[in-house]
Every structure is written in C-alpha cells, then in structure tokens.
C-alpha cells in the first residue's frame, strides 16, 4: 500500500485534502496545486470557501492570481462538504490550537477534524497533522482514533506530524523555501510523508518520530519567547538606568560569534509565540517537571504592555499632563508589521490599560479597520491626518507598519513613545527630546 501511495505522489496523481484554510492551510493547498497535485481545501467558513472557489484569496501572502489560476485549471477547490475526504489520498490537518483560559492546551479543533478524517478514512491514505500541539498528540490521540475504523496502521493508512512554519508578511521565506521537518509515527509513515512534502518544498528534514517533530516546533517558538523575554527585561533595566537599550544591543551584535541579536518590543503576539511554550510546559508538568525558563519568559513578556503604559505616563508627566483625560493615539494594533492579524497583539493590552486609566484612546492601523475590546465595545481606525497627530497628547508606536511616515508623526505629535525603534534613523535631532524609546 505504501508503494501504491508513493507512486501516486511521485507521478502527481495524488489528491491532497487540507483541513483548515487559514494562514497555514491556504498557502499549503496552493503549493500542492502549484506542485502538480490536486488540492481540496476544507473549511467550515462558507464565505471563505466561496471566495476561494471564485478565485479569491483572503491571505495577503497568497496572491489572488495564483488562486484564480489553480481554480481555473482544476488544481484547487474549496468545500464545506467533508464527505469529499473520501476522494483524497492525503489529508493534512491545519486547524487552530488555542489555549484555554487556564493556559492548558485546547485540541478540540484537532479532535473535530480527526473525527471527520476517521469517518472517511480509506486505504491507502496518508494523514499528516501540522497544527502545533504537545508532544504525543499524533501517536497518543490521533492514532487510536484512526485505528478504531478497523484499518491497519502502516498497512492501510500512514500517520505523521510535520509542523507548520509560517511567518505571515515575510516576503523572503514562504512555504516552498522553508525547510520542512517530518516525523512519522513509524519509519514507513516518515518516508511517505517525506515524499509528499518533497513535491513542494526545497528541503525535507526527516526525524525519527512524530514526538521529535512536535517538540522541535515547540522548541523553535520557546527559543524565541525566552530570548525576547531576556531583551525585554534588559530594556526595562536600561530604562531604570537611563541607558539606550537599542544602542546596547546594536553594540553587542557586532560580536561575530556567541551572540544572536533579539530586540525588545511592547509584548509578543500572533498564533505561535505567546501560545506554543505553554504546550511544552503543560506536557512537562504532567511528567513532574517544571519548565521554569518558559514561565519566567512568559511573565516578562506579558508585562511589557504595562511597561509601555508606564512610558506614556512618564512622558506625559514630563509635559505636565496626567494620563487621565489625555488623548493617546496608538499607531498600529496588528501583532506584527504589515499584516492584518490582531491575535494576541500586545496592542490589546496597551489599549485596555490606557482606557482603564482614563485616557482618551484612538488608533490608526492601515490593516485593521476595527478592533474589538473585551467588555468595552469596539474602536475604529482613524485616518492619520495632520489634525489627528497635532491634537493628540501622545502618539504610541506599537506596530511599526512600513506604510506610516514616522518623520511626519514625530514632526506633528507633541510626544512619541516608540516601542519598535521606528524613529531611530529619522535624522531629526531637533525632535529627539520628545521621543521616548523602549
């Protein structure tokens, strides 16, 4: 059965089903289509499905022209009908894996997708989980579910984990040129899954088990979380010592060995870094091990919005103004530059605290038209007019979108809090006195 499936993949006759058509799933389905395979995308959002079938793309990194061409040539379709899983040779699960309020893993989306896969599982078929999760999910949760069908693992079906490595808004690294880690529940499953991804990516790195692949993904983002936590703590320390933290990092980065530059910011956001380390620490606690570094980094990073608000308060105090009643303009609320995603954005905490302390808050973001605040309604993005900039008491750069003219911001706003170092190279020495950097 593995030979039959490998032959269909190598001859580009295989049909690949992708469950979940978000930031991970749609780019992946498009790459499979571009690689010569037929891709069927599955999603519960009927409007999203209709848009894709009409040749549209809701993901900025996926050009509409690519989607339209693949749909026209029959290489890509989207559907809400999960019975079409019966037509697939491969199923890749790309659904969200959020945290519960208790900061424990929520794999309910994986379970729901797997139930659909189980219903239509047939021989031969490859199932790959890409959703970030705790070590053991693939072989402890998915494998027993699929074996309940009576089909035999490694004979009738194959099972692997291959972590997504999507960086929204990154023009240099996208699905096709990011190395793909692949770990099967067995050696045979690894080989079949590796062959699948070799049709669309430049390099496949095979590991000995699904658990290794699951843990590698968590290490990648925990590494970033811990190092960002370190420089965020250094930034707070430098603020107390009246030292420019950005200049410190720039100086340290001249060392050609033994140092990797990370940069401070208003907090961490997105679908990976704020969440993934908790999956690893949760699994560790089940085995009686406390991952203290992970917890400490989370504590430091989650404190950064509060530190930004303190900078606003201190800056206004220098201008003899209280925070309460002051007009604070937040520039950028997406979790990173030049994308339209506000998930876990530090801007949410900053705006919430500013409102709680009595500030009059407005925001401008060219990618986020409206921002919902828990229990406080919604805010709409304002146009970045000269009047808006001149009339605010403080402008806070939270997300450094490339479309914003920061020289104009500094020139018009009476006070600028820069949490992203966006104003560093403006060459406006006369305005430096009204800029406070993180």
* pLDDT for position 424: 92
Assess if residue 346 is contained within a domain.
yes
Catalytic residue among 238, 272, 392, 394: 272
* pLDDT for position 369: 96
Same domain, 116 and 204: yes
* Enclosing domain of residue 391: 242-437
Q: 211, 228, 259: which is the final residue of a domain?
A: 211
Same domain, 169 and 276: no
Assess if residue 232 is contained within a domain.
no
The answer to whether residue 392 is catalytic is: no
Q: Is the pLDDT of residue 168 over 90?
A: no
Same domain, 177 and 108: yes
* pLDDT for position 410: 97
Same domain, 19 and 136: yes
Assess if residue 120 is contained within a domain.
yes
* pLDDT for position 262: 97
pLDDT cut 90: percent of the chain above it: 90
Same domain, 293 and 197: no
Assess if residue 233 is contained within a domain.
no
- Residue 91 · residue 125 · CB < 8 Å: yes
Q: How many helices, marked H, and strands, marked E, lie in the chain?
A: 15, 15
Assess if residue 229 is contained within a domain.
no
Same domain, 296 and 400: yes
* pLDDT for position 2: 83
Neighbours of 75 (CB within 10 A): 18
Classify the phi-psi angles of 336: left when phi > 0, otherwise alpha if psi is within -120 to 50, otherwise beta.
beta
Same domain, 54 and 196: yes
Q: Is the pLDDT of residue 375 over 80?
A: no
Same domain, 190 and 267: no
* pLDDT for position 55: 97
Q: Is the pLDDT of residue 169 over 90?
A: no
Residue with tokens 């496949």: 204
Same domain, 272 and 409: yes
Assess if residue 216 is contained within a domain.
no
Rounded to two decimals, the pTM is 0.91
Assess if residue 237 is contained within a domain.
no
Distance CA 307, CA 266 (A): 8
Same domain, 410 and 306: yes
Q: 211, 230, 253: which is the final residue of a domain?
A: 211
Same domain, 259 and 110: no
Assess if residue 217 is contained within a domain.
no
Select from 399, 395, 397, 391 the least CA-distant residue to 367: 399
Q: 211, 226, 254: which is the final residue of a domain?
A: 211
- Per-residue pLDDT tens for 122-144? 999 999 999 999 999 999 999 99
The count of structural domains within the chain is 2
Q: Classify burial at 164, counting beta carbons within 10 Å of its beta carbon; exposed 0-12, middle 13-18, buried 19 or more.
A: buried
Q: Is the pLDDT of residue 1 over 80?
A: no
- Residue 191 · residue 184 · CB < 8 Å: yes
CATH number of the domain residue 349 falls in: 3.40.50.720
Same domain, 322 and 203: no
CB-based contacts of 334, cutoff 8 Å, min separation 6: 340, 341, 342, 345, 347, 365, 367, 368, 399, 401
**Token code pair at residue 81:** 């009908």
* pLDDT for position 166: 87
């Amino acid at each position: 059965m593995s030979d039959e499936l490998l032959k269909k993949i190598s001859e580009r006759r295989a049909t690949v089903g992708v469950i979940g058509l978000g930031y991970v799933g749609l780019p992946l389905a498009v790459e499979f289509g571009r690689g010569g395979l037929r891709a069927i995308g599955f999603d519960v959002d009927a409007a999203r499905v209709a848009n894709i079938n009409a040749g549209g793309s809701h993901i900025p990194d996926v050009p509409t022209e690519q989607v339209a061409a693949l749909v026209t040539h029959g290489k890509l379709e989207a559907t809400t009908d999960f019975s079409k899983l019966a037509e697939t040779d491969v199923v890749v699960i790309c659904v969200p894996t959020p945290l519960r309020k208790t900061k424990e893993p929520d794999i309910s989306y994986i379970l729901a997708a797997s139930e659909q896969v189980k219903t239509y599982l047939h021989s031969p078929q490859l199932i790959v989980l890409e959703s970030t999760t705790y070590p053991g999910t693939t072989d402890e949760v998915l494998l027993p579910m699929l074996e309940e069908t009576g089909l035999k693992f490694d004979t009738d079906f194959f099972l692997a984990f291959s972590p997504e490595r999507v960086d929204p808004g990154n023009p240099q690294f996208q699905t096709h040129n990011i190395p793909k880690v692949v770990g099967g529940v067995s050696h045979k499953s690894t080989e079949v899954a590796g062959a699948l991804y070799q049709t669309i990516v430049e390099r496949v790195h095979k590991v000995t088990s699904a658990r290794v692949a699951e843990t590698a993904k968590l290490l990648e983002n925990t590494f970033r979380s811990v190092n960002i936590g370190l420089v965020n703590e250094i930034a707070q320390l430098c603020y107390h010592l009246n030292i420019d933290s950005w200049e410190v990092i720039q100086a340290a980065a001249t060392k050609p060995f033994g140092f990797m530059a990370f940069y401070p910011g208003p907090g961490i956001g997105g679908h990976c870094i704020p969440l993934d380390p908790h999956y690893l620490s949760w699994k560790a606690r089940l085995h009686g091990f406390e991952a203290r570094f992970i917890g400490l980094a989370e504590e430091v990073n989650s404190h950064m919005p509060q530190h930004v608000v303190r900078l606003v308060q201190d800056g206004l105090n220098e201008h003899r103004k209280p925070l309460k009643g002051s007009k604070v303009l937040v520039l950028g609320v997406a979790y990173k530059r030049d994308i339209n995603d506000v998930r876990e954005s530090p801007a949410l905490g900053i705006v919430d605290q500013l409102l709680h302390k009595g500030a009059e808050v407005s925001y401008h973001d060219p990618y986020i038209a409206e921002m919902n605040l828990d229990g406080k309604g919604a805010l709409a993005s304002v146009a970045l007019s000269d009047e808006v900039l001149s009339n605010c008491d403080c402008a806070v750069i939270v997300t450094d979108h490339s479309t914003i003219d920061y020289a104009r911001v500094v020139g018009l706003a009476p006070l600028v809090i820069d949490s992203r170092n966006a104003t560093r190279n403006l060459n406006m020495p006369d305005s430096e006195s009204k800029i406070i950097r993180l």
